[in-house]
Amino acid sequence: MRSALHPTGLALVVPCRDCAAFIGPCLDSVLAQDWPHWRLLVADDASTDGTQRAVRPYLDDPRITWRSLPARGGLMANTREALARLAPAPAEVVAVLDGDDTLLPGALARLMEEHARGFDVVWTDMEIEGLAGSTGRALLPGVPVRQQLWCLSQLRSFKGYLLRGLPPACLCDPTGQPCRAAGDLALYFALIERAGAAKAAFVPERLYRYRRHAANNCRALRAEQLANNRHLRALAPLPMQTEFFDFTETLHDPDGNALDKLGLREFGQAVRARHPEPFSVRVAHVIPRAREDSWRAYHGLWIAPGVYLDGVFEDEAGSGEP
């Protein structure tokens, strides 16, 4: 049985600002990938150089489209508008590739491989121009993501459902404006929290090349980046989302007694055993409305890692509507 969140496609966002010298190699690196099934939006942030002219020849490929903001919005405003424009489907994978960087061979195929295994936020290791080291690491188990060293690389991807219901405030700086700097922290802290750390995967292969230059946000907006970093790490964590799951099991319980409340942990572990991690499972527990009070304290809870007990009422005809 295939997961309801098995990848249905791949959408690439390429945010850029004055990238005329870099955007060609960036797009060439995508075209050279051995995973050809993608669509790509070049999201231009009101460039003042020849970026649009450099992109124009690539628009002959129907997979590639162009959009330019009428006025500069900054990194997160530009990215957020591009994501809204793409409107990814829940199981569509979204990857962000900065317009001044390049993918290395096999990058897209490895991302899609991990997403097909059930992970919903995936990043790879990377090469940093002029440096031997990299930020890419796996998350520390059991430590809230906002309290960890930044361990994501520049090649990051996620499934589209994670954008549904994402609070706009979590992507903003202390003034309430979309982050111009540290926008990557703002977005991926939130996405990992909503997916759950068990649904996040690091690919320990260097599949991205990060270009260092004077216009990088970490240099050009250094003070703002540090201030936003502190602000974003101090925000309350977002709860795990409970709308989209890999699998749903339905349990019809007309008397409200089919489940042992004291054995819910063991029941959850049995469900978990039927679906390998990291797949998520929703148990739709269908009960009569008359039994609502007796189950109110138990529905809407995680009863095993990645297993969620959801309460569903029978309709008037007596059939469950999970």
* Structural Rg of the chain based on CA atoms: 22
Banded model confidence at residue 316, pLDDT cuts 50, 70, 90: very low
- Identify whether residues 149 and 77 lie together within a single domain: yes
In a domain, 201, yes or no: yes
- Identify whether residues 48 and 191 lie together within a single domain: yes
- Identify whether residues 207 and 64 lie together within a single domain: yes
pLDDT value at residue 314: 86
Domain residues for 271?
247-313
In a domain, 241, yes or no: no
Domain boundary among 174, 201, 234: 234
Residues of the chain with pLDDT > 90: what percent?
92
- Identify whether residues 148 and 291 lie together within a single domain: no
- Residue 49's domain is classified under what CATH number? 3.90.550.10
**What mean pLDDT is predicted for residues 257-277?**
96
- Identify whether residues 51 and 114 lie together within a single domain: yes
pLDDT value at residue 22: 96
Q: Considering its fold, how many domains does the chain have in total? A: 2
- Identify whether residues 213 and 86 lie together within a single domain: yes
In a domain, 239, yes or no: no
Q: What is the pTM of this model?
A: 0.94
pLDDT value at residue 217: 64
Please determine, for residue 6, whether its predicted confidence score (pLDDT) is greater than 80: yes
Cβ pair 112, 7 in contact under 8 A = yes
Domain boundary among 234, 258, 280: 234
